[in-house]
Structure 1
Amino acid sequence: MSILKSYTLSKLSYHMYLDKFTESDIKSLNKIITWFLWSSNLRPFEDAKSFKNTMTLSRAVHHWKNGGISLWDMKLRNDAQHIWILNRVIANQDVYSPYYQSWRNQIRHNKITSPTLKHSILLWQHFRPIMKLPPHQMKPILRNDEPLPLKLIYHNLINHHHKPVLTSGQFQLSLPPTKIDFTSTRNIFYYINSIKHHRGRNTVFRFFSRSLPGMAYIKQDSCKLCSANDFDPHTHYFFNCRVILNKFNLKHITQHLQIANYEDEWSLEKSTTHFYLCDESSDLTAIIYHNIWKHVSSILFSQDDKILDFSNQSIISDFDIHRNILKLINNTPTPAN
């Protein structure tokens, strides 16, 4: 996401200061974002092509504790920057730009000649009621006697325009309601956020949000590994594929790693319960998800026919490395002040 935001910020900055950000620009940028996030490496970017989006913008813009990925809404992010700059101009802050004094004079004399300023004022007036302020007062929007930061302006725009929504993964889980409440948007993703193994956490998040890269393009009617028919590729490869299930043994893994009270049965329901424990078992479960996904994606999408290993040993090795990293972090002394 950092790579993506660095790229899009350069585009936003260019259009903000040197050009106008049009609907066509937003559409083109969103197409690149969709390709980058949801397509496999078998589908290179071509501007003439369309790409499948496996997560709606209304979900993607939220933090992943709420089932999103903190993706920018490019239009609202652009609007937020206009509001932020104008708000600083009105607050008489130091704004190092050639138009600062010109904008101040136009506002002071109520003679708006700049199209950019006119557009910024309109956005700013629409934003003020969101902050429970009169729309047409030419007074700065402050927080702790300082102009409202860009981050908070964007955050308030997102909360106003995009309400959190339930995900497909939340509807498909079938644990008894007495165990887990899946009606809460924040529930499963809140616990996924506590997984310490970064790659495992990312894979688990993508699984439950049904946004694993490339899966939307799978058209086959049967499993490429076990030939099962009428399968949902998103869940089949993780829990129902006989070829995958025969490659690892939970009892062997947990005994070797000395993790007690871990269910020997591998299923969607059983594996999900481990994420609510927020301990080593949730990290181990995330590592198993990630190892399965590495193996399956190398079979489905590899361009060089190199199949990544998936076995008891690959899971044990990954967990040992993860456990040792956590020990190093926990044993590192805090620097003296």
Structure 2
Amino acid sequence: MRTSFTGHATEFAGLPVFGLSQSWTDEPPRLVPEAELPTEPGAVAWRIEAWEDDDGWDYGPSSMFRHAFEQFLELVDPAGVRALVIGSWGYAAMNAAPIGQLCAAADRLTGLRALFLGDIPAEECELSWICQGDVAALLAAYPGLEILRIRSGDADAAGRNGLAFDAVRHGALRTLVVESAGLSAGVVRGIADSDFPALAHLELWLGTDRWGGDTSVEDLAPILGGERLPSLRSLGLRNAEIADRVAVAVAGAPVVARLRELDLSLGVLSDEGAAALLAGQPLTHLRRLDLHHHYLSAEMADRLVAELPGVEVDLTEVMLPDEYDDRYVAVDE
């Protein structure tokens, strides 16, 4: 899946995104829709944001965002809302995500099935700076949630408001995406130790150690074993500085035999990792293998296509090492 950090999402969970933002000219601030309100709350993915330039640390979303979210719950029938896209909750580098406020609204957002927490482009906040919290609390609050997408840094500069994911069991979740410039081993282990019997798509952006990405292939072992993920059909281990080591582990991973899509894109995959993939278990059952943004030679790229007939192999965005022979993930800040 292609992801842009230069603008807001226009579609989420198969629905067009309808934006709501706080007016700066009204006192008190007023929530302003981008167009005429939809008559059916479930026909769109509602996007709520309240960006503001804030230079003080906080332990939660800004007061402006809290006010905007409460206005939203009064503006529409919350029971009819199926999808939410949460944009800036103040300045996201200084304010933790509105996880508590979202959890408190669960008894009103009874139809919520899809949540994107952190639709924040780079011009509003760099990915590695976005403060979150324990996002697993959202799964406990919303047992019917089917899609959860998180965009987050791992921890802020003061060590507070870091992304966390305590192990949970959730019977409805079908899609889990965590976009990060540096995903910690603790978060990955929490996800790996969770029980997701319905999860069909799992996507983790591992990032670099520069931004807290200390995940190892050993931390990924329960995911690659697949015992707690019986429905998994699409696996993405993306934006990885350890892409070659991930490829070696994937080559012998039991979960791969039942996948239809495998995504190792956005990282620093080289011929070493690609050769391990070809030398491992058969991959010809895959529908798609996404390797875009890679450091493969032309010869290895040709081998992949030739040895995986019938598989859609994405080898676009050929990268070259810099003058110091360094390679870079696609999103490293």
Please give the TM-score of this superposition, normalised by the length of structure 1: 0.25
Larger Rg: 1
Greater fraction of residues in strand = 2
Q: Which has the higher helix share?
A: 1
The normalised TM-score by structure 2 is 0.25
